[in-house]
Structure 1
Amino acid sequence: MKKVFDVIIVGGGPIGIACGLEAQKRKLTYLILEKGPIVNSLFNYPVNMQFFSSSEKLEIDEIPFISKEAKPKRNEALEYYRRIVTSNKLNIHLFEKVNTVKKDSEFFRIESEKASYEASNVIISTGFYDLPNTLKVSGEELDKVSHYYKDPHFYASQKLAVVGASNSAVDAALECWRKGAEVTMIIRGPEVGQRVKYWVRPDIINRIEEGSIKAYFNTEVSEILPKEIVLNTPEGKKRIENDFVLALTGYMPNFEFLQSMGIHLSDDEKKLPEYDPDTMETNVPGLYLAGVICGGMETHKWFIENSRIHAKVIVEHIVNERSVPAV
């Protein structure tokens, strides 16, 4: 007879790990399924990325996070969360993508690329970093275009267009310029984003004002060609020479996956998933959301420091409401 887990956690990021820790403390049978390495999304962040949050606000389960600076770097976060997983011997399967989650009359049936499982409860903690907001223009499929930025060295001595004005776009523009790229920013609005890290925003504004980095405001990409890009500017169409495009225009949750499980989404552009904020349980009994996935298209609403509490809230509800013995 197949083992039925008390809870299966889909997503092994910081909040998924926090849910696993809480389930382990409460003596629940659990399994974390992660499609990549430990904290896959953080692993795919730029190599030099620095968090907006201070290290203590990235801590989970009150486990101290010590970093060299007040705001830790990507490599420090990877080390922190990896050590939590390994030191606590969390039950986690890596490089195992979940394809479907279906509920029958009694249990959830979870099908991954490698195996099938049954669970009384499921926590979805998959974040929003997997699906980029595309430009929807001709040429976006070219190899020169990427929606993810990793290392500035790759773009040295190249004509680089950075599309966007958020933290990721600004960091990429500054780092690549400092490694010798000829950087042009394509910004849809009238200014650099107000949510850009406060210690970085003056830097990019100064680089633009002095002409080190070219910026087109109130502008969108119209077409991407092998050696050029075409822009819609306030003055009309403009063609500029180009070797690479970083389209850093944000990301979105996998709404199709949520809907396939029966989770209701709001009808407006926010696509907010339906859940009880007191328990994090969705409209599907026994199915919970944790972390940034709760925000729908409002991807700035939830992050590690304000969604760490989800783990305790969810597991407490599972223990109290699902006839799982408390300890």
Structure 2
Amino acid sequence: MNPVKYDVIIIGGGPIGLACGLEAQKAGLKYVILEKGCLVNSLYNYPANMTFFSTSERLEIGEVPFVSNNAKPTRSEALEYYRRVAAHKRLNVRLFEEVLQVMPKDTEGYEVISKKNTYETDHIIIASGFYDIPQKLGVKGEDLAKVTHYYKDPHFYAFQKVLVVGANNSAVDAALETWRKGAEVTMVIRKGEIGRRVKYWAKPDIENRIKEESIKAFFNAEIAEIRENEVDIQTPNGIETIANDWVISMTGYQPNLAFLKKIGINLSEDEIMKPEYNDDTMETNLKNVYLAGVICGGMDTHSLFIENSRVHAEKIAQKIIKTPQLA
């Protein structure tokens, strides 16, 4: 069977991937969005009770209004919004279809091989986000079933001994929510304070819970080893061993930079590993291959969000419609 040909293939079905699909649709381009998981997979993996820092209008795509019942929209509202956008605009999205390979053709364009199909295209947009690869602790016992890098719902941890690793929004949410459901919560924090990026309504809450010792916190500390019923913590005063049922490791996530490197996109040689692309067109060092969204920041995953990367979709669409093949 011959590969299906598209003007544009968009890798990633998150908010920015959907925004790219909307711009391609508006420009009259034949496109498809390929997503390795469910629709807006990264948002789906957020904690069930998560509240965004941004207001709803800053999360809008395709000029479709996002109406929220709250000053700050919730995860469930965002899932509903992006699902309705995809349905209302009839976006061509193929879910649970991971892209395995991208190869240049002998002539021009690319062949894209997914788990389900083979495609041909003139242009590729990579909007793959960063929530799929957790930053590992690198300690003995991390592979135990009691350890998770994804926190979902606090009820599961009721009346259990829970250790939360991290000091930013995800860790603070996990610590506060599980404590309020009756868990005995301990936090392990590498630095000497709660993260400065923590949401303004949550930061004083967690700091007060730590101060009153409702939640125990080890600062300037790291996990040394995890065992079935306890955890060793390396503190400034030496190893401290505590009883433990569950470890929630909220140490962050990273984009799939190995995929970019595999297909030939240049990365900076420092620890950020920022991909090479043109700020005006979002085109990488590979002809007609573009980046959109948080993937553009490399390991600096806190520099780009939905609200400040929606414009990437417009830049890319403008570049594509000006190419000779499609002019």
TM-score range for the pair, normalised by the shorter chain length = over 0.9
Pairwise CA distance, 1:62: 1.6
Amino acid at match of 1:80: Y
Show the counterpart of 2:179.
177
Give distance in 2, aligned partners of 1:163 and 1:103: 43
Show the counterpart of 2:253.
251
Give distance in 2, aligned partners of 1:11 and 1:322: 26
Unmatched runs of 5 consecutive residues or more in structure 2: none
Amino acid at match of 1:141: D
Taking a change above 3 Å as real, the CA distance of residues 201 and 261 of structure 1, as seen in their structure-2 partners, is same
Select the residue among 119, 125, 131 that pairs with 1:129: 131
Corresponding position: 1:148 with 2:179? no
Amino acid at match of 1:316: Q
Of all paired residues, the percent bearing the same amino acid is 60
**Residue pair 2:222, 2:233 contacting (<8 A) in 1 also:** yes
Pairwise CA distance, 1:215: 0.3
User: Secondary structure, in 3 states, of the residue corresponding to 2:322?
Assistant: helix
**Residue pair 2:164, 2:249 contacting (<8 A) in 1 also:** yes
Taking a change above 3 Å as real, the CA distance of residues 322 and 126 of structure 1, as seen in their structure-2 partners, is farther
Amino acid at match of 2:95: L
Show the counterpart of 2:302.
300
Give distance in 1, aligned partners of 2:324 and 2:70: 43
**Residue pair 2:101, 2:112 contacting (<8 A) in 1 also:** yes
Show the counterpart of 2:27.
26
Pairwise CA distance, 1:248: 0.5
Amino acid at match of 1:214: K
Corresponding position: 1:204 with 2:217? no
Show the counterpart of 1:48.
49
Pairwise CA distance, 1:322: 4.4
Q: Which TM-score applies when normalising by structure 2?
A: 0.98
Q: Which TM-score applies when normalising by structure 1?
A: 0.98
Aligned-residue RMSD, C-alpha = 0.8
Give distance in 2, aligned partners of 1:318 and 1:124: 14
> C-alpha offsets along residues 253-284 of structure 1, whole Å, 9 cap, x if unaligned?
11111111100111000010110011000000
Show the counterpart of 1:290.
292
Pairwise CA distance, 1:115: 0.7
Pairwise CA distance, 1:323: 2.8
Show the counterpart of 2:92.
91
Give distance in 1, aligned partners of 2:110 and 2:319: 17
Give distance in 2, aligned partners of 1:321 and 1:163: 48
Give distance in 2, aligned partners of 1:191 and 1:311: 37
Give distance in 1, aligned partners of 2:214 and 2:100: 46
Show the counterpart of 1:77.
78
Give distance in 2, aligned partners of 1:9 and 1:15: 10
Amino acid at match of 2:44: F
The number of aligned residues is 325
User: Secondary structure, in 3 states, of the residue corresponding to 1:321?
Assistant: coil
Show the counterpart of 1:157.
159
Give distance in 1, aligned partners of 2:112 and 2:303: 28
Show the counterpart of 2:16.
15
Give distance in 1, aligned partners of 2:282 and 2:33: 18
Give distance in 2, aligned partners of 1:278 and 1:198: 34
Amino acid at match of 2:91: L
Select the residue among 191, 194, 197 that pairs with 2:193: 191
Corresponding position: 1:276 with 2:272? no
> C-alpha offsets along residues 91-128 of structure 1, whole Å, 9 cap, x if unaligned?
11111111111112312111111111011000000000
**Residue pair 2:4, 2:118 contacting (<8 A) in 1 also:** no
Show the counterpart of 1:266.
268
Pairwise CA distance, 1:209: 0.3
Show the counterpart of 1:112.
114
Pairwise CA distance, 1:194: 0.2
